[in-house]
Amino acid sequence: MSETIQHNPSSTNEQARREQELTQTVVESFGQTPDPRLKELMQSLTRHLHAFVREVRLTEDEWSTAIDFLTEVGHITDDRRQEFILLSDVLGVSMQTVTVNNEADADATESTVFGPFFVENSPSIDLGGDIAGGASGQPCWVEGTVTSTDGNPIAGALIEVWEADEDGFYDVQYDGTRIAGRANLTADDNGRYCFWGLTPTPYPIPHDGPVGRLLDATSRSPYRASHLHFKVTAPGHRTLVTHIFVRGDELLDSDSVFGVRRSLIKDFAEQSSETPTPDGRDIGESTWAQARFDIILAPTKSRPDTHRKSH
């Protein structure tokens, strides 16, 4: 006859007391932190991490594996590859942080994840210029306006754009220093902008490292839905970091970094080589695509009180 295992209530209570006491001791160790915000962050982080350990009954081997994983994430990160951003992205932390920090404001354009491939000081182009820089892909004409939430055009808005080539790679993923698939331009007096780029195609995030193994272990795809990156800045307005996505892409519901917003899905209408281009460019015998993205910037607002306490 099998024995019924009985737990000693007093032992169980004592174990819970010890665990809670440790958590409280660590929380209190940050009690004299001079910066109120840092104090709030560290105490809250401690509570949540300890709660996770207690909830899943984390084993010492599992914690050692986690430390080894994070160590490898650090080792593979360099000035051309940011594995910690990839980890944040695939856990949805990047997107949640974007959501928290970009509150809905009238019909302002929604933000999404920044990604690891933005480069400062990209080359400037005139309106109607080409960002491709020799990158392979189908030519795509992108145009739109930049306005405020009250409908007024924002003259001089700085628009930075970047994207992968048709093989799914950004310029910084290649050897050498070639700049391709990225540029910046300035909206005209009517807030209008336009440029030639490439029709976005799906591609996988770098998955030959620890983050890729995590996705494999959890049966998740590394692929991102087709997209084109934008960063838009203008005085008096909240900086916008966003993408536009290709309507009809099969990956819209399974983007590996959870970056898709329905409002950012746009038509990329394919045109035949016989169709005249908006600026008279000679496409030759190539097909091309056309997309419109009207951008609405939210006004700058003071940051909400981040020192509030939860009760």
Domain boundaries, the chain: 9-58, 90-297
Mapping DSSP to helix (H, G, I), strand (E, B) and coil, where does residue 83 land? helix
Short-list 253, 129, 261, CA closest to 185: 129
Residues 109, 259, 307: CA angle, nearest 5 degrees: 75
Q: Which two structure tokens, joined as six digits, stand for 60?
A: 């010492």
Give the whole-angstrom CA distance, residue 83 versus residue 75.
Answer: 9
pLDDT at position 307: 39
Q: Span 293-310, mean pLDDT?
A: 69
| Confidence grade of residue 290 (pLDDT, cut at 50, 70, 90) | very high
Using an 8 Å Cβ cutoff, are 165 and 138 in contact? Answer: no
Q: 18-77 pLDDT, tens per residue?
A: 999 999 999 999 999 999 999 999 999 999 999 999 999 999 999 999 999 999 999 999
Q: 166-206 pLDDT, tens per residue?
A: 999 999 889 888 999 999 999 999 999 999 999 999 999 99
CATH class of segment(s) 90-297: mainly beta
Helices 83-90, 93-101: axis angle to 10 degrees equals 80
Q: 213-251 pLDDT, tens per residue?
A: 999 999 999 999 999 999 999 999 999 999 999 999 999
Contact residues for 44 (Cβ-Cβ < 8 A; gap 6+):
310
pTM equals 0.87
pLDDT at position 308: 38
Using an 8 Å Cβ cutoff, are 163 and 197 in contact? Answer: yes
Give the whole-angstrom CA distance, residue 286 versus residue 128.
Answer: 18
Computed from CA positions of residues 110, 115, 117, 122, in that sequence, does the dihedral angle turn out positive or negative?
Answer: positive
How far are the Cα atoms of 94, 166, 235, 266 from residue 261, in angstroms, in the given order?
A: 14, 23, 25, 11
